[in-house]
Amino acid sequence: MNYHVLTLFPEMIEQGLNTSIIGRAIEKGLLTLKATNIRDYAFNKHSKVDDYPYGGGAGMVMQAEPVYCAYEAISKEMPKKPRVVYMTPQGRVFDQAMAEELAQEENLVFLCGHYEGIDERVLEEIVTDYVSIGDYVLTGGELPAMVMIDAISRMVPGVLSNNESAEYESFQDGLLEYPQYSRPEEWHGKKVPSILLSGHHANVEKWRHEQSLVRTKERRPDLYEAYMQKEAEEKSKKKK
Ligand code: 6GU
């Protein structure tokens, strides 16, 4: 997987993703990450990349040409036109299924806007996917791009160790993860559930699944409903 981020703050991307699991995957050559400064493609001597919005209003708009030239410079190196993800609160909300789908791509371009946004005309020409990370407003697209890169990278083969990618995880089957415990057996008067000390693997699995259900129902009733619906559908399919 090769990530290309078009941004006014390349150091933010590079600094944010060079540690821990993602940093290790880059070192191993499983991922590449290149942040391109849109300002390097400004066409005036002051390296200005924004201007006032036509029609008036608050703030500044990122101009089309520098964004387009930055995109052209990186995409001409690629064998086919890449998916270009524009980070915007007006996009489809990012989720695990989208992370899994995007992890199949060879190249991914993330376009990060600032100010009041980017001139619509260049978006029409280069953007393939409009994506939001949730219903709140951020000052720029860099943090969302980093969030997406982290979630997508986990789905790239080899990035997680076998241990880390162990089958049971939040969202793997649409349920939240069960609670985890480590030593000591008793802490602040609280004991580890005795079933986890029993060594009875099947009972442990059953308990964890029940805990996942209880937790999902309590904390994410929306996911719980979807899970129950899916279960019911699968049961009725089997009957037929
Ligand atoms: Cl993807 N970008 C920006 N700028 N703000 C956001 C967002 C994205 N998702 C939620 N808020």
What pTM value is reported for the model? 0.93
Chain centroid, CA 10 distance in Å: 18
113: number of Cβ within 10 Å: 22
pLDDT tens digits for range 153-189: 999 999 998 877 754 466 768 999 999 999 999 999 9
Residue 90 has pLDDT above 90, yes or no: yes
Q: State the Cα–Cα distance between residues 10 and 74, nearest whole angstrom.
A: 14
Pocket around ligand 1: residues whose beta carbon is below 6 Å from it? 87-89, 131-134, 136-138, 140-141, 144
What's the half-sphere exposure (Cβ side, CA atoms, 13 Å) at 136?
6
Ligand 1 atom with least separation from CA of 140? 4
- pLDDT number for residue 169: 61
Q: Candidates 112, 138, 146, 149: which one to mutate for ligand 1, based on the most atoms within 8 Å of Cβ?
A: 138
What is the mean predicted confidence (pLDDT) over 105-119?
95
Q: Whose CA is nearest to atom 6 of ligand 1?
A: 89
* C-alpha 118 to ligand 1 mean position (Å): 13
* C-alpha 133 to ligand 1 mean position (Å): 6
Q: State the Cα–Cα distance between residues 235 and 240, nearest whole angstrom.
A: 9
Residue 91 has pLDDT above 70, yes or no: yes
pLDDT tens digits for range 138-149: 999 999 999 999
Q: Candidates 13, 87, 116: which one to mutate for ligand 1, based on the most atoms within 8 Å of Cβ?
A: 87
